[in-house]
Chains A and B, each alone.
Chain A
Amino acid sequence: MTDRRVCGLVLSLGLLLAALPASAHHSFAATFDANKPIVVQVVVTQVRWENPHILIYADAKDKSGKVEKWTFESFPPGVLHRKGLRPDRLKPGATVTFKGFRAKDGSNFGHLSVAVFPDGKLFCVQFPGASDAVGDAAYDGCTGSETGQYR
């Protein structure tokens, strides 16, 4: 029996934040919605190479040209580095298309699954288990064999 990997924020909804200790390494299901796949073209404004989760701040333009601010969360920096997603590409000013899943509350907060760059280079940062909920739309170009491998 393989372990379900959990990596998301764990908090029981309805409990006061102050009363409950926060946790490291949280579960996808508690924060993100596997039924809310997103594809967002952005320009990166800041990358926080932090443990336990890398955080990417980016600007997307909506249909009217208005700038929408987005935050994407992903795996620890070491994991992304092994997958090839490194500071030379993932940096302020980079244009990139992020595919992933939106936060449950519908905010501009996403879990990063795939990063596609203008030169066609693809980085599959899939989250195992999440891909079952949606079709291939969010995962074009990722074969699925990336799941579970260190890159």
Chain B
Amino acid sequence: MDDVRYAAIFLEVSLNVERFSSTAIAVGVALVGLVLVASTASTRAAAQQGGAGQATTTSANPLPRTSWDKKPDLTGVWQGANLNPQTYGLAQLERLYRSSAKAEMKALSEKDDPIRHCMPYGYPRSVTTSFPFQIVQAVGVMVVLNYHPHLYRYIPTDGRKHTEDIFPSYQGDSVGHWEGETLVVDVTALNGKVWLAGAQDHAMPTGAGGWITSDALHVVERWRLLDADTLEYQAVVEDPKVLTGPWTTPKISLKRAPIRKIEEGHCIPEGLDWQPPALK
């Protein structure tokens, strides 16, 4: 408010001096404008720091923010977390599988894993691999770009509802909204074919098989920038047809990768091997 009072005083002084040239008046107005803009900007800046659930940052390492809504900007290439069954919390997930689902799990092995047939890893599994992935945040949307398989995931971030009457798919229907500094993404309309982890990823000696899901799978993700180079991901997974209760992943820490953009991974389903016609 102090800034505005100074501007008002300046204006009052200008108005009282008839002999001021039009140039001086224009300069005066310009200064007033700049002062008012600056005060508005600092007011906005102060407001956003007060949001709930904000990351603790130091002024030496501030979060990058998008220019249009001042939300944390997750844009960049991120290194997959490369988790093992322990760091992925799979022991807890294993205990949640219904006995009816366990039989089906055990009948499946690595060769049945959809990712071996060029199908998506799905979420949360996607961030646990060693592959980098890329995020581009744009107005009202966050796009997640995958290297292998070469697929994109489109996440509206404007708080809209799920697409009506959408068919089930591997990546499902994602809608996001901001809760303070955290992007919360809700995923539904999944087709029940994606696995939560690999057949070889079992924390317990008695564990075995594919981490199946059903078309009742529902995932709620939380994406949060801890600092400019660290992205924290956590998901709650529920699937009443195969799990007895919800599974919360550990907080998964993803580091920024030092590459500009990911490459185009090309996956050819088994049985479609092909050599291009030889040139000359």
Contact = CB atoms under 8 A, between A and B. Distances in A.
Does B bind A? yes
Interface of A: 21-24, 49, 77, 80-81, 86-88
Interface string B258-272: 000000000001011
B271 A77 contact: no
Contacts of B274: 21
A77 B167 contact: yes
Given A49-B168, A86-B165, A24 B272 contact: yes
| Nearest 10 Cβ contacts at the A-B interface | A49-B167, A86-B165, A77-B167, A88-B165, A22-B271, A87-B167, A21-B271, A21-B272, A87-B165, A21-B273
Interface string B59-73: 000000000000000
B152 to A, nearest CB: 13
B169 interface: yes
B167 A81 contact: yes
B45 interface: no
B272 A22 contact: yes
A90 to B, nearest CB: 9
A23 B269 CA distance: 10
B235 to A, nearest CB: 24
Contacts, number: 25
A49 B168 CA distance: 7
Nearest to B274: A21
Interface residues of B, number: 11
B273 A81 contact: no
A23 B272 contact: yes
B54 interface: no
A147 to B, nearest CB: 23
B191 interface: yes
B204 interface: no
Contacts of A21: 271-274
B166 interface: yes
Nearest to A23: B272
B191 A49 contact: yes
A36 to B, nearest CB: 29
